[in-house]
Structure 1
Amino acid sequence: MQDLNAMLVFARVVEEGGFSAAAEKLTLSKSAVSKQVAKLEDQLGVRLLNRTTRRISLTEAGELFFVRAQEVVAAAEAAEQAATSLQDAPRGTLRLNAPVSFGRQHLAPALPDFLYVNPDVTIDMTLTDRFVDLVKEGYDMAIRIGALPDSTLIQRRLADARMLTVASPDYLTRRGVPQTPLDLQRHDCLCYAYQATGDEWRFSGPEGIIRVRVAGQLRANNGDVLMEAAIAGLGIIVLPSFLAGDAVRGGQLTPILRDYKLSEGAIHAVYPHARHVSAKVRAFTDFLARRFGGKPYWDRDL
């Protein structure tokens, strides 16, 4: 097991963008910070940082290790705070940002349960599928799904984000059932405007990685709109199971291409880094982890 202090130092170097800034943040000498990172690299047997006279950058191994190091450091800090702040009760206004579909379907039913047992907390929630800057826009935390490009945020994994390729039974009767991802090029597909890969859907299967450029009559920046269009028979859509699950269980949508997996991410709670996370953020994050953790309820009978 790696030295927790060395992991903390490494994480600060990356977050602050250099050894000098990290040293100032940690109230250590620059040489002490450099030695800690070198010691960590020696223990791991890999280079984590590329160093030049002007800047540092993460190696591929460094990028992977940084994500895990952040989680470990955050967990250790949370444990420390829990042990020393048992008397701190959650209170105040929690400014929360979340994606529209997930917020409507899964956060909305959860909020009353949380607020009943935390009467001193007020939640101010904004639903948008736009990527927001938590610090600049004044949010305490956000729920994010999929890739997390802002590595300066603390990330806590809440649940897997399983993706399904689905279409209505009517559409499949009229147009046929695709047997491989490449067949999608001959079908109408419904496109999500904020998808990281644009109109390219990426699958992995017996043939390896398959990238397919899709097109159709409808593009939208909201998953509920696309799901309703798919149910109406307008085309094939890739949707997260937390959104499509009820329609699949009810027979309105049929999963296809079961032998091919889509790249899947996770549902995270994210919040700006702070030495002492507020009790309201910690309490709400713990609540969501209990509610959605393990195998989430929306996947249990799919």
Structure 2
Amino acid sequence: MDKLHLMTVFVAVAEEEGFAAAARRLAMSPPAVTRAIAALEARLGVKLLNRSTRYVRVTEAGQRYMDDARRIIAEVDAADEATAGINAEPRGHLTVTAPVLFGKMFVMPGIVDYLQRYPAMDVSALFLDRVVNLLEEGVDVGIRIGELPDSSMKAIRVGQIRRVLCASPAYLAKAGQPQHPDQLRDHCMIAASSVTPMIEWRFSHQGQNMAFKFKPRLTVSSIDAAIEANLAGLGISRLLSYQVNALFNTGQLIRLLPDYETAPLPVHVVHRESRYASTRVRSFVDLIVAQLREKVEIH
């Protein structure tokens, strides 16, 4: 059997965690899928899947092979697209990921624009407040906030943002406005997206770094909830500048200790590196990079 075909069948079985589901996805018969997996394992001389009556899971060797197989399949698909013509209109499916609020505010308008430009495309948007592994989760393009680890991904810097302290005018009128990080100990603190009992916020001033450890009065699992608690006058929280800039502009929240903020965080658009330029990925990356560079700034 063709090696690429066997890889495609294996990836489908591994992702669907079942032979029947993979057969439906590939429009093959279940026996044909079973024969393909058996042929691949025989050719490699290694067990790729653990099977039981209730589940199918990849082995350790199977996980490594699946990562390589996904990369190879993606390269072949990209080569096919490049051969079809660099000026061909994008068509097919694209998966994009970004942090929840950032995706809602900045990435979704770009996705809508992209879909309106290219009617033969469809997009899945994964807005999650965790780092998504593009290769393992089959994602084409990601927007990342913060320094990037070394990887095989291609990264394009589009801007930078800051961590900012904020509170409502009503809270500050009652509790006073801190002038130094040490004075935060006298305030009610709100922590977003943390499950630890103690939080540490870092500050920097005139080349001197400092840290402030505290136990928050309120811990929430979403940025929206932290902002609502701020607006209600409960206390002080630390958020990212893009999340609250509009509220600073209207005076609903006040920015605190700007002279003690740490270095800005870079924002990148990342995608899987390839020798061939995928029309789908290239067209979306070009669009979203241009749009984000107009919007993602230090405030």
Partner of 2:109: 109
> In structure 2, do the counterparts of structure 1 residues 185 and 277 end up closer, same or farther at CA, with 3 Å as the change threshold?
farther
Paired residues for 1:1-302 under 5 Å: 86-149=86-149, 151-193=151-193, 199-206=199-206, 208-293=208-293, 296=295
Checking the alignment, whether the CA contact within 8 Å between 2:160 and 2:296 is kept in structure 1 is no
* TM-superposition CA deviations, 1:185-229 (whole Å, max 9, x none): 22222223369xx82111111361111113322223322221111
Checking the alignment, whether the CA contact within 8 Å between 1:142 and 1:269 is kept in structure 2 is yes
TM-score (norm 2): 0.66
* 1:280 Cα deviation after fit: 1.6
Amino acid aligned to 2:122: T
* 1:150 Cα deviation after fit: 5.5
RMSD between aligned alpha carbons?
Answer: 2.6
Give me the whole-angstrom Cα distance separating, in 1, the residues matched to 2:95 and 2:141.
Answer: 7
* 1:247 Cα deviation after fit: 0.9
> In structure 2, do the counterparts of structure 1 residues 254 and 228 end up closer, same or farther at CA, with 3 Å as the change threshold?
same
* 1:162 Cα deviation after fit: 2.5
Checking the alignment, whether the CA contact within 8 Å between 2:199 and 2:216 is kept in structure 1 is no
> In structure 2, do the counterparts of structure 1 residues 188 and 123 end up closer, same or farther at CA, with 3 Å as the change threshold?
same
Amino acid aligned to 1:179: Q
* 1:90 Cα deviation after fit: 2.1
* 1:122 Cα deviation after fit: 0.9
* 1:85 Cα deviation after fit: 5.6
* Uncovered stretches (5+) of structure 1, i.e. residues with no partner: 1-80
SS at match of 1:134: coil
Amino acid aligned to 1:264: P
| Number of equivalenced pairs | 217
SS at match of 1:157: strand
Give me the whole-angstrom Cα distance separating, in 1, the residues matched to 2:274 and 2:207.
Answer: 45
SS at match of 1:247: helix
Give me the whole-angstrom Cα distance separating, in 1, the residues matched to 2:95 and 2:297.
Answer: 26
Give me the whole-angstrom Cα distance separating, in 2, the residues matched to 1:194 and 1:140.
Answer: 28
SS at match of 2:280: helix
Amino acid aligned to 2:280: K
* TM-superposition CA deviations, 1:220-269 (whole Å, max 9, x none): 33222211111111221122221101111111100111221223212211
Checking the alignment, whether the CA contact within 8 Å between 1:185 and 1:215 is kept in structure 2 is no
SS at match of 1:123: strand
SS at match of 2:252: coil
SS at match of 1:259: helix
Checking the alignment, whether the CA contact within 8 Å between 1:191 and 1:237 is kept in structure 2 is yes
> In structure 2, do the counterparts of structure 1 residues 277 and 212 end up closer, same or farther at CA, with 3 Å as the change threshold?
farther
* 1:108 Cα deviation after fit: 2.2
